[in-house]
Structure 1
Amino acid sequence: MRMLAGLARTAHLGPCLAITVLTVLVGVASGVDAWTLLGVGIVVLLGQLSIGWSNDVIDADRDRAAQRTDKPIAAGEVAPRLVWTAALVSLTVALVSSLLLGIWFAVAHAVTVAAGWAYNLWLKRSWASGIAFVVSFGLLPSLARLAGDTPRLATVGETLAAATIGFSVHLANTLPDLDDDVRAGVRGLPHLLGRRGTAAIGFITLIAGAVVLTVEIGHPVALVGLALVIVIGVWGLVASLHRATRLVFRLVVAAALLLAVELVVVSALR
């Protein structure tokens, strides 16, 4: 049971489920049928699990060096070979199963998963670390639609807004571990920008995404969402000046969730 619990923790279940649920909700709002959405949800979840597992097993040596007892592999709760096996099996099943939902969905999903693996293998340690999140989140609103009876891409506005969510979450996610990463030799974009620069660009990006969605919705109600994101952004920038890293991370996630809700609303109004 301890081994299974460790395997579950290495998968980063929270983000995996969040991305899967958002993908399915956009599909529901877009009118995709229930059986197709069930397939989309399973396949997307498997793809995300493969990314989560590969992330921890690739970083295992660095986590051990940093004495990360919160990481199951570094703490000896689960064997690296088991995590590698889980990652590769889920990746294979996800990619093969994608073909059952149509060639266009399969291609888009393969690009999404490839971006996640590329981040784990290389991009995380380069100035281009944010590209993986821009690509994978940017495709998210299109996934369920591409599996529908009439495959279609999301609008430019929806794609840009989703990409801003991914980019901002990437920046915020590095903040709590920024110092440990630097000591370990990681030099991604957030590490080059520094703590305050990362927070500032993260919130500015989210505000830009909120503006795009406000224009996309074209309804006065959308102004409420924009105002809330701006308030959260200003609060986060002030918090970053006082090095309140955890608070900044939570505020970015809150603003990103707000944009995700707006993204679903936009899809429903189409």
Structure 2
Amino acid sequence: MTTEPLARRERRRALAHTTPVLLLRAAHPRQAVITAGGLAIAAAISGRPGREVALVLATVLVGQAVLGWHNDLVDRRRDASRLPSGKPLADGYLDPGTAWFALICGVLLVVPLSIQNGVTAGAAYLASVGVGLVGNVVLRNGWLSWLPWAAAFALYPFFLSYGGWGGAATGEPPEPVLVALAALLGVGVHVLCALPGLVADHEDGRRHLPLRIALRIGATPLLVLALAWTVLAVAAMLVVGNSVGLAQ
């Protein structure tokens, strides 16, 4: 009666520490799935065929995994100061070299996937990934911490409106109001993603925008404000998309 559950727990623990599972955890899978799923749904709503929706989903999943691995690599030493951090790289379960290898493989995969959406659409998505990578290194500790998020999200309507199937696919420019709303959505997502780490960031001396606001109004009001901001941005995008469409 006692050895069976113990053996099962040991198997689960061993599985949790295998390299594929550790890489999955380090890829920030929740954020990757939400972002990829949201863009795939937007592509479906805009009338794109199934294979193009699946392509959008795959492209964004790989791109988000690259961003997740890079984020954990950049923050590895800081996260390691608070063990257990819950992050495989910081806790020493995942070798940094393995994560870098996965990141490079992800980049080599996301480039052809992006271009398969069309050269212009692919360039827009690759630019958003590039902005995210830069944002993992700079601007994240000050007033302008929101800027990479806003810029990356503002590129998503370009990725969708110019997208199609194959490198020769062409589209039309996105509606400017949708670009602006996507940027606002990125700011809201930035605040929501920053909320769980506010205490640690404060102890480390970081002063990004969400932390500065939280120090003034409190974390709970900031959560309510960020949720309302994000929901309103999504709702506005749905209304605008339904009334004028995605592209001009």
Query: Does TM, normalized by the shorter one, top 0.5?
Result: yes
Comparing both chains, which one has the higher relative contact order based on Cα–Cα distances under 8 Å and sequence gaps of 6 or more? Answer: 1
**How far apart, CA to CA, are the structure 1 residues paired with 2:89 and 2:170?**
44
* Alpha-carbon contact 1:46-1:90 (below 8 Å) kept: yes
Q: Number of aligned residue pairs: give it.
A: 224
What SS is found at the alignment partner of 2:121? helix
CA positional deviation for 1:112: 0.6
Q: Percent identity?
A: 25
Structure 2 unaligned segments of length 5 or more: list them: 1-14
Q: Distance in 1 between matches of 2:177 and 2:136?
A: 28
The match for 1:25 among 34, 41, 61 is 41
- Name the structure where helix makes up a greater proportion of residues: 1
1:135 is aligned to 2:122: no
Aligned partner (choices 53, 62, 71) of residue 87 of structure 2: 71
1:164 equivalenced with 2:184 (yes/no): yes
TM-score by length of 2: 0.80
Do the aligned residues in 2 keep the contact of 1:51 with 1:117 (CA within 8 Å)?
A: yes
Q: CA deviation at 1:109?
A: 0.6
CA contact under 8 A between 2:151 and 2:183: conserved in structure 1?
yes
Distance in 1 (alpha carbons) for counterparts of 2:111 and 2:92: 30
**Aligned partner of 1:179 among 199, 206, 212:** 199
Moved >6 Å (runs of 4+): none
Larger Rg: 2
TM-score normalised per structure 1: 0.74
- Per-residue deviation, residues 68-103 of structure 1 (Å, max 9, x unmatched): 431121222221211121122112210232222211
Contact 1:134–1:166 (8 Å) recurs in 2: yes
Partners of 1:29 and 1:267 within 8 A in 2: no
Q: Secondary structure at the match of 1:125?
A: coil
Deviates more, 1:180-189 or 1:260-269: 260-269
**Counterpart Cα distance in 2 of 1:116 and 1:189:** 17
Deviation at 1:179, TM superposition (A): 2.9
8 Å CA contact 2:145, 2:208 repeated in 1:
yes
Q: Which runs of 5+ in 1 are unaligned?
A: 198-239
Cα deviation for residue 187 of structure 1 reads: 3.5
Q: Which residue of 1 aligns with 2:214?
A: 195
Match of 1:152 in 2: 172
In structure 1, the residue matched to 2:223 is 249
The yes-or-no answer on 1:267 pairing with 2:247 is: no
* Displacement after TM superposition at 1:42 (Å): 0.9
Give me the whole-angstrom Cα distance separating, in 1, the residues matched to 2:125 and 2:144.
21
Shift of 1:118: 0.7
SS, match of residue 71 in structure 1: coil
1:11 counterpart residue number: 27
Amino acid at match of 1:154: P
